[in-house]
Structure 1
């Protein structure tokens, strides 16, 4: 593993342990060049996934991009990084076990919406504002009204 600090090509694993959800392994490494320590995560990848965008463009599934978009929606909310990681792992696992190698980006967006709705209503609305492409304040108002009605059921 290349060192993120000095780019030395070799590092030594000092400690390995499973993450809380058991879906990945956290490894503490030490660079053989500069001695810096850093962590890496190893996850099982069942298949290569390709995202099919609205315009028909195709790109490889990027777990980091998904984590980042959820983290932005959940910024300054009582949602932990572990909860975000579990949500992303759950979505990735569902996609990989679906049997399909090409996934419609809208399907992933809906899966994120479902997960965020259970985690935090504000993060859910924030994500929806980008995903559903809200154009004006009325869009927020209508959507937020439908969210509060769901909570009353």
Structure 2
């Protein structure tokens, strides 16, 4: 069970640890029960997940297909207004197909809105991303 994240400074490190571990259920706890997760332009095409159950299912499918090699967070700070936080930032993610194949680096612009719950800590209300660039590393000759 993922403990609630009480500090925004701890949110990304917690998210990253769960992502690298392939823990879709743990990641799901970082999303509010009625959160929305969208993505466009990536290897999975355009996806929409509404509600934690759909988000966990989508994350589990993506993490079943791809391994996260490295994730470089956005350097944009969150703007905080009471118990809400938001930012528009760009991050880099390098993934590798679990079935084999070359690594792919994604440059992603994300618009994130989080809310602080007294019981559940910081959680995404909305996590919307758009892949700006895809770079595939050629495989090594055999």
Tell me which protein shows more strand as a share of its residues: 2
Tell me which protein shows more helix as a share of its residues: 1
Task: Work out whether the TM-score is over 0.5.
Answer: no
Shorter-chain TM-score category? under 0.3
Q: Which has the higher contact order (CA 8 A, sep 6+)?
A: 2
Whose radius of gyration is greater, 1 or 2?
1
